[in-house]
């Protein structure tokens, strides 16, 4: 069962590993990333940040989608973490069971506009977020599980 889909360019760190894992009662974290799967430094870093008693799975995007759709992940209380809004779109397009997206942290650049303290989006990413909302997904900004939800449609 998917408990949380989070976009966070840092992937697995204290907020995800402890606040969110405990807050949603997760027992498995799936990092879905075509980049990370081929980067041994990233993989080692993620494994070091994994909370005890919680399984960590790192897969490329297509294998993540296939695993979710096959039902093999249904036995877990699952947090799925992706780095970008584009990756979240791949996940949403491939997995109809994704019903909500948590924006945790995105990178600032010269091409982005700021939606909140930690969320920066390009024009293309803004379009994707609007598409999610039009599909009926809940899209919210929250750094920590106990923070008040800020719904993206109110800040776009």
pLDDT tens across 65-95, in order?
999 999 999 999 999 999 999 999 999 999 9
112 part of a folded domain: no
The alpha carbon dihedral of 46, 50, 20, 144 has a sign of: negative
Residue 49, domain CATH: 3.40.35.10
Judge whether 43 and 92 are in contact, CB under 8 Å. Answer: no
155 part of a folded domain: no
Judge whether 43 and 58 are in contact, CB under 8 Å. Answer: yes
Distance CA(104)–CA(16), nearest Å, equals 9
Judge whether 88 and 82 are in contact, CB under 8 Å. Answer: yes
| Token code pair at residue 4 | 């949380």
pTM above 0.75, yes or no: yes
Residue numbers of the domain that contains 82: 2-105+141-149
130 part of a folded domain: no
Distance CA(34)–CA(65), nearest Å, equals 12
Q: How do residues 12-41 score in pLDDT, each as one tens digit? A: 887 777 889 999 999 999 999 999 999 999
122 part of a folded domain: no
Count of domains for the chain: 1
115 part of a folded domain: no
């Amino acid at each position: 069962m998917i408990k949380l889909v989070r976009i966070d360019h840092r992937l697995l760190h204290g907020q995800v590993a402890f606040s969110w894992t405990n807050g949603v009662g997760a027992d498995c974290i799936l990092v879905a990333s075509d980049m990370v799967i081929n980067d041994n430094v990233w993989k080692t870093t993620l494994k070091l940040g994994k909370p005890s008693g919680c399984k960590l799975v790192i897969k490329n995007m297509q294998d993540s989608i296939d695993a979710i759709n096959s039902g093999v992940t249904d036995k877990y209380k699952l947090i799925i973490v992706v780095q970008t809004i584009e990756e979240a779109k791949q996940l949403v397009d491939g997995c109809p069971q994704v019903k909500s997206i948590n924006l945790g942290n995105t990178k600032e650049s010269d091409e982005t506009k700021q939606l909140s303290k930690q969320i920066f989006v390009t024009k293309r990413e803004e379009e994707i977020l609007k598409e999610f909302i039009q599909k009926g997904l809940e899209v919210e900004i929250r750094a920590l599980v106990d923070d008040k939800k800020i719904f993206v449609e109110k800040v776009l």
